[in-house]
Amino acid sequence: MSRFRRLTLGADFGYVPGEQPPDDGEWLKLNTNESPLPPSPHVARAVAEAAAGLRRYPDPFGEPLRSALARYHGVDAAQVLVVNGADQAIDCCFRAFCEPGDVVVYPTPSYSLFPVLARVFGVDPVELPLDDDFAMPAALGTAPGGLRFLVNPNAPTGVWLPPDAVEELVGGAPGVVVVDEAYCDFAPASCIPLLQRHDSWLVLRTFSKAHALAGLRVGYAVGSPELIADLAAVKDSYPIDRCAVAGALAALEDEEHHRAIVDTVCSERERVAVRLRAAGWDVPPSHANFVFARPHDGDAESRLQQLRQSKILVRHFASPRDRLRITIGSPVENDRLLDALHA
């Protein structure tokens, strides 16, 4: 750390992403919730064609992707903001809605980016522990604060709340309510239709998971035109590049491929959960592309090391109650995982 760094950040500060091992084909990466299948074959061609126009800046609002997303979700284009990954949409929420010293409310454990951005923006975090069964705490809907986040399905637990239960929980909450739906494609329903009734809500989505485009960096926010205008006021000048616009558009148009990714993940998620449970693991029902599992002897840490020796990466959470978050891979990858765990 240099002597110039803001004192409130400190030397050990920063978001710690999941480990990225060398791309040598030996490692099995089940630690960052990426897709087990590649993106739609149409993406590479669209990206290559877009690369021919890189001399020019991209559209500042990511058109024509923005309008295509609006049609896809049945909303107006003014209700969509396309950015460089859902992470950037979260960042824009802090920029747009929080003064230093304001309060941001979110459950814990949840997405580990929230506390990092709270510190960057000098905002006070109110972290509400999940209930014993990983249910959302009732205080998420009542705690005072100008900005609150609900990840649905939640990460790292995978637990999903149906939209009517989300409405019951945070429908009367003060301030802006952000429903982060990064994993929603793997769940039965989205909260986007509820935006008609809640002009203080934003829903965030990403192409990183169910469209297999984590490397392209495309995410978006959907909400009332007023809230979207607030986010647009603080966005980067050109948050999404020409290749990303073209690639995401090609992925959006290939619904069959998108469905194949979602179906593979959902059926494999069930198979992995059943096998782990049969081996004595505690695996709560997940509606995401990962499971949050605890071995029968409670020693998740040693399973982490055991998997690492087999060149398999998963994510360890010491709290709550020592668990592994395991991304659902392809059938072959999941067999390798289950063999390594003797499950």
Ligand X SMILES: Cc1ncc(COP(=O)(O)O)c(C=O)c1O
**Applying CB under 6 A, which part among 119-127, 187-195, 206-214, 302-310 lies near ligand X?**
206-214
Nearer Cβ to ligand X (35/208): 208
Please identify which residue in 91, 180, 185, 241 interacts with ligand X, judged by CB under 6 A.
180
Q: Which residues contact 211 (CB under 8 A, 6 or more apart)?
A: 35, 39, 40, 248, 251, 252, 258, 261
189 near ligand X, judged by CB under 6 A: no
Instruction: Count residues near ligand X (CB under 6 A).
Output: 13
Residue the block writes with tokens 């939640």: 154
What is the rounded radius of gyration, in angstroms, for the C-alpha atoms of the chain? Answer: 20
Backbone angles phi and psi of 49, in degrees to 5: -65, -40
**14-22 own/partner pairs: CB under 8 Å, 24+ apart:** 14/116, 15/112, 15/113, 15/116, 16/112, 18/313, 18/315, 19/313, 21/311, 21/313
292 near ligand X, judged by CB under 6 A: no
Q: Return the residues of window 62-101 that contact ligand X according to CB under 6 A.
A: 85-87
Please identify which residue in 151, 159, 248, 324 interacts with ligand X, judged by CB under 6 A.
151
Please identify which residue in 158, 219, 247, 329 interacts with ligand X, judged by CB under 6 A.
219
CB of 1 to ligand X, least distance (A): 26
Nearest residue to ligand X on Cβ basis = 85
Assigned token pair, 287 = 């509606």
CB of 288 to ligand X, least distance (A): 9
What secondary structure, in 3-state letters, does 33-72 show? CCCCCCCCHHHHHHHHHHHCCCCCCCCCCCCCHHHHHHHH
CB of 240 to ligand X, least distance (A): 11
CB of 208 to ligand X, least distance (A): 3
Q: Among 158, 228, 166, 238, which Cα is nearest to 197's?
A: 166
33 near ligand X, judged by CB under 6 A: yes
Nearer Cβ to ligand X (58/109): 109
Nearer Cβ to ligand X (151/341): 151
Task: Give the footprint of ligand X on this chain (CB under 6 A).
Answer: 33, 85-87, 111, 151, 155, 180, 182, 206, 208, 214, 219
